[in-house]
Amino acid sequence: MATIVTDSNLCSICNKPSARRFCIGCKKYFCPKDFKEHEQQLSIKFDNEIVRSHDELLNQIPKLEKSNFLSLDLFDQIEQWKNTTIDKVKKAAEKAQYELTKLIDKQRITIINQLELITREIRCRREEENFVENDIDELKQKINKIKQKLEQFTQKDTTKTIIIINNDQIDLNRLIYIQEQQLDCEYIALQI
C-alpha cells in the first residue's frame, strides 16, 4: 500500500514525512525528534520570558515595602500643602486682628473726641456761668450717649460677632484627598 505524502505530514523542521506530532500552539507538525527539540525551546522561552520576569517582579516587592520610594514625594506634597494652608490661615487671622485693632482704635478715638468737645463746653459754661435748665438737659443727654457708647465698647457684647466659617461648614476632606486612578497600571494621585 502506498503512502500519500502531503504537506501536513511533513515535519516543519526537517521536512521528513514522519511527522506524527502536532503542536496546538504554533499549529505545525513535527517528527518525534524535532518535536522534543521544539518542546525544549518552548521550555527555555517560558523560563527566559515568563519565569524570569515574574521573579524580577517578586524581587521588587521588598524594595517597595522598605523604601516607600514612590510615596515619599506624595507625603512631601501633603506636608507642603499643610504648611501652605496653615500659613494662609495665619495670615487671614493676622489680617482680621489688624482690622479689629483699627476698628477699636477708631471707635476709641471717636469717643475721646466727643468727650473732649463736651469737656470744653462744660468748662466754658462753668467759667461764664452761662447755663440754664435746657443746657443741663442737653449736656446730660450728650454725656449719656457717650456713656452708652463707652459701655458698649468696654463690655463683652454677645451680639457683636466676627463671621468665622467653622470647620463643619468647610469640608476639609474635599480640600485634599487621595484618589486611586487606573490606566494600564495603577498609581495614586494627590488631589489638592
Tens digits of per-residue pLDDT, 97-153? 999 899 889 989 999 999 999 999 888 888 888 778 888 899 899 999 989 888 887
Residue 122 is assigned to a structural domain of this protein: yes
DSSP 8: G
Same domain, 49 and 127: no
66-70, 169-173, 175-179: lowest mean pLDDT where? Answer: 66-70
Place 175 in a pLDDT band, splitting at 50, 70 and 90: confident
pTM of the model: 0.51
Same domain, 88 and 58: no
Domain that holds residue 91: 76-163
pLDDT at residue number 4: 41
Residue 31 is assigned to a structural domain of this protein: yes
What DSSP string describes 99-139? Answer: HHHHHHHHHHHHHHHHHHHHHHHHHHHHHHT---HHHHHHH
Same domain, 104 and 126: yes
Residue 26 is assigned to a structural domain of this protein: yes
Same domain, 85 and 139: yes
pLDDT at residue number 65: 67
pLDDT at residue number 119: 92
Same domain, 103 and 59: no
The residue among 6 and 43 whose pLDDT is bigger is: 43
The residue among 1 and 69 whose pLDDT is bigger is: 69
**Mean pLDDT across 163-174:** 65
Same domain, 81 and 59: no
Query: How many Å apart are CA 94 and CA 92, to the nearest integer?
Result: 6
Same domain, 97 and 56: no
Residue 104 is assigned to a structural domain of this protein: yes
Beta-strand relationship, 21-23 and 186-191: unpaired
The residue among 104 and 186 whose pLDDT is bigger is: 104
Is the predicted pLDDT of residue 157 greater than 80, yes or no? no
DSSP 183: S
Whether 28 contacts 11, CB under 8 Å: no
Same domain, 96 and 122: yes
Q: What is the pLDDT of residues 66-106, one digit of tens each?
A: 666 667 778 888 899 999 989 998 998 899 899 989 988 99
**Mean pLDDT across 4-24:** 79
Residue 14 is assigned to a structural domain of this protein: no
Same domain, 38 and 99: no
pLDDT at residue number 70: 63
pLDDT at residue number 72: 75
Same domain, 144 and 91: yes
Mean pLDDT estimate for the chain: 81
Same domain, 96 and 27: no
Same domain, 159 and 91: yes
Instruction: For residue 185, give the 3-state DSSP assignment.
Output: coil
Residue 170 is assigned to a structural domain of this protein: no
Number of domains forming the structure of the chain: 2
